[in-house]
Chains A and B, each alone.
Chain A
Amino acid sequence: MTAVATELILEATKVRKEFGGLTACSDIDFTIPRGAIVSLIGPNGAGKTTFFNMITGLYEPTAGRIVFNGRDITGAKPHEVVRAGIGRTFQNIRLFGNMTAIENVLVGLHHTLRGTWWQAILQPPSVRREEIRALERGRELLNLMGLAVRESDYARNLPYGDQRRLEIARALATDCKLLLLDEPTAGMNPEETRQLTTFVRSLRDRLGLTILLIEHDMKVVMGISERVTVLDHGEKIAEGTPAEVQADARVIEAYLGRGAAGEG
């Protein structure tokens, strides 16, 4: 990693989540350097999504601290986390199905707009201008995602690949500094996966984003990640560059079982 990478955009310290007697995440230390593409991987049930949900405020950590961009966001509400600058997509696509593509993106822009309920009624020029700007910005984002032609289509009627892209467009609309992608390649074939990989990298390069990927599939991650963190049974078992992680005996064990690690 370069020197630039020493500046951390996200720093999670000893983050822990218990559901009753089950410890889904146990004392995980995790950092993301600004501008990096970082991946969180692990087998099913490793606690990846739980960890993700703690960052995004859906779950409150049982213990630990999460600092984003110099701000403590531990236990913040999801909408406060978005305002702080973290955008996300969902593993199982969660678009607003009965709203058009542009409306979905406009919802993403929600917190960047100021119009109140009484301004909605009175429509002062400032709010009109704001709405027009939001519409233009929304179209820009759809365009960026190659969805311009889909603007007035209902999200639920879009093909699967377009839905994934619209979800990213909506997340980008929140004006995030850190983009969390939860299994973005789920349900994709190898060719689509390869395209997405290239796309994610270009997003980072062009928009100056920091990206955290959750992946189930190690192979996907290795191509684009600068750092990889491996979780298993709620614990961090390895961290480092893709090459380091791939060589780690515990990682191989987690994925392939004890025998495989021994032979490896």
Chain B
Amino acid sequence: MTQVVTLARRSLNPLSGLTHDPRQRRIVAVLILAALIYPFLASAGLFPSWVPAPTTNNLIVMCYYAVLALGLNIVVGFAGLLDLGYVAFYVFGAYTTAFLGSEQFGFHLSWWVTVWIAVAIAALAGVLLGAPTLRLRGDYLAIVTLGFGEIVPLMFKNLDKININIAGQKIIGPDFNLTGGVLGINPIDPPTLPSPFGKEIIFSNSNPHASLYLILLILMVVFFLSRRLRDSRLGRAWMAIREDETAAEAMGINTVSTKLLAFALGASCSGFVGAFVSSYQTAVFPESFNFAISITILIMVVLGGMGSLRGAVLGAFALSYVSETFLPWAGTFVNPPINSLGDATHVAFFTNFTLSAYNYLIFGVVLVLMMIFRPEGLLPSATRRAELHGEGIAAESTFGTTASVAEAATDFEEAAGELPIADWSDAAGAAAEPTHAADEPPPSNPPSAGGPA
């Protein structure tokens, strides 16, 4: 019954969409406040250079990777579909915004409109790229999605001179420039809002404060959506498919539409990020969407704990902090002595050494260490923890666990230890209607209709 009360209470607090534990809610509130205040502290020069404090721009990168990780988490963590080409959806989101808010085609739609179109197009791309993979499982799915992750950015890179002639009749061309080729699309209109102080607020890299607030808002919205989805009928269906697709089908789940929804909803998160990043950087370049991004996002999800929302955010924050802030910072101490060693010994490797070039090496080492020491991730979902450590008690399960139930379960197990098989007939006896005594031999005339007379 407590569940019912919890369910009913959930909507009252605006932070309740992010977490229902009051202690965690306070933590979340503090974190959000800290993020809001942070850029003022950073720009006030509060952090000396010997502190590896992220700049506001770094913080923005951390946040948009967190959104991407949450999106991939829907596909990989919830539905168990190993997608190695997540960058493909991100490309669609970014270019949609670029097409609609730049000089490329002369549309200068407001970003606040194009973002929703970008999300819709990314979701559509999720369905279109997801559809051919529906029959594939495991490794095969990974390979095909890997292919899509390579094909889509390449396609955008090469769609700058399109000529389509059918029966000598020019349909598209000559040299129709859709995507701007390797040069990409530049500039792209940033989102703007009218401000009460006269000048309008521009959300681009020229104004990182405002941009940070925008991406924080997107992060919170996506976190909230992910959480609601996970705890819903659809979330259970995703998990059932992840656990056993055949059994899920045999329980009435339409695996086709459920998997497509995972692809579409996962992709739509990257649509948000695509729209944000292209307008924040006021440009898109095909080269910036590479395989490494897909893999980095996947590592973030795995590092945080597959299927765990907080884990995905933490994983994204940690990895992008390391590559954006920590390594360049550490490099300022590590690089000079190594470089001068190289100059002295004429070893090119040392001369050209830059620590931040080794971020993927470091990610790899971290991942290997994680797999050895904490395979469930930093902040695992209850499910993963149970899977890898065989714990029986849920901490983050959909319906939680009350201490009394956990206790009772232990007692029951002890009792069952002596009598390993619970009594089937007793179980039947627990039903509402009275019936023949449990341990009697089966009566020859069951009272119901349809039995043998």
Contact = CB atoms under 8 A, between A and B. Distances in A.
B451 interface: yes
B21 interface: no
A110 B450 contact: no
24 contacts: A2-B450, A35-B449, A58-B250, A79-B254, A94-B244, A96-B240, A98-B386, A100-B398, A108-B251, A113-B233, A117-B265, A120-B231, A151-B399, A152-B393, A152-B400, A159-B413, A159-B416, A159-B421, A165-B424, A195-B423, A198-B442, A201-B442, A204-B446, A205-B446
Contacts of A170: 251
B405 A107 contact: no
Nearest to A162: B422
Contacts of B233: 106, 110, 113, 115, 120, 131, 134
A83 B247 CA distance: 14
Given A79-B252, A205-B448, A97 B442 contact: no
A110 B416 contact: no
Given A2-B452, A145-B427, A195-B424, A107 B394 contact: no
**Most chain A beta carbons < 10 A, residue from B252, B420, B447:** B252
B365 interface: no
Nearest to B441: A198
Contact of A159 (B231, B420, B448): B420
Interface in A147-177: 147, 149-154, 156-157, 159-162, 165, 170-171, 173-174
Interface stretch (B3-11, B161-169, B194-202, B354-362): B3-11
B425 interface: yes
A201 B424 CA distance: 11
B450 A152 contact: no
Contacts of B231: 120
A119 B225 CA distance: 11
**Leading 9 A-B pairs by shortest Cβ distance:** A35-B450, A120-B232, A146-B427, A111-B252, A82-B252, A195-B424, A96-B243, A199-B424, A94-B247
Contacts of A36: 450-451
A203 B252 contact: no
Interface in B398-432: 398-402, 405-406, 408-409, 412-413, 416, 420-428, 430-431
B229 interface: yes
A102 to B, nearest CB: 6
A120 B420 contact: no
B173 interface: no
Nearest to A128: B7
A195 B416 contact: no
A4 B3 CA distance: 44
A121 B229 contact: yes
Contacts of A162: 422
B425 A195 contact: yes
A195 B10 CA distance: 43
A2 to B, nearest CB: 5
B452 A226 contact: yes
A232 interface: no
Contact of B243 (A99, A123, A204, A223): A99
B433 A206 contact: yes
Contacts of A28: none
Interface string A181-210: 000000011011001111101111110101
A135 interface: yes
Interface of B: 3-4, 7-8, 10-11, 225, 228-229, 231-237, 239-240, 243-244, 246-255, 261, 265, 383-384, 386-387, 390, 392-394, 397-402, 405-406, 408-409, 412-413, 416, 420-428, 430-431, 433, 435-436, 438-439, 442, 446-453
Contacts, number: 241
A4 B253 contact: no
Contacts of A102: 399
Interface in A195-234: 195-199, 201-206, 208, 210, 223-224, 226
B4 to A, nearest CB: 5
Contacts of B408: 149
A95 interface: yes
Contacts of B413: 159
Given A110-B237, A195-B421, 7 more contacts: A110-B253, A152-B400, A154-B386, A154-B394, A171-B251, A201-B442, A204-B451
A4 B450 contact: yes
B448 A208 contact: yes
Contacts of A79: 249, 252-255
B397 to A, nearest CB: 6
Nearest to A175: B252
A88 B252 CA distance: 10
Nearest to B307: A98
A182 B434 CA distance: 28
Contacts of A106: 233, 236
A96 B244 contact: yes
A171 B400 CA distance: 23
Contacts of B249: 58, 77-79
B237 A107 contact: yes
Contacts of A26: none
Contact of A103 (B248, B255, B397, B438): B397
Interface string A110-148: 110101110111010001100110110000000111110
Given A79-B254, A149-B412, A34 B401 contact: no
A5 interface: yes
A24 to B, nearest CB: 18
Given A98-B383, A110-B251, A135-B399, A153 B438 contact: no
Contacts of A82: 250-252
Nearest to B421: A161
Contact of A131 (B7, B412, B448): B7
A5 B448 CA distance: 12
Contacts of B392: 153-154, 157
Given A2-B453, A103-B399, A223 B442 contact: yes
Contacts of B439: 198
A115 B424 contact: no
Contact of B8 (A128, A145, A205): A128
Contacts of B383: 98-99, 154
A47 interface: no
A171 B247 CA distance: 10
A115 B247 contact: no
Contact of A199 (B243, B425, B451): B425
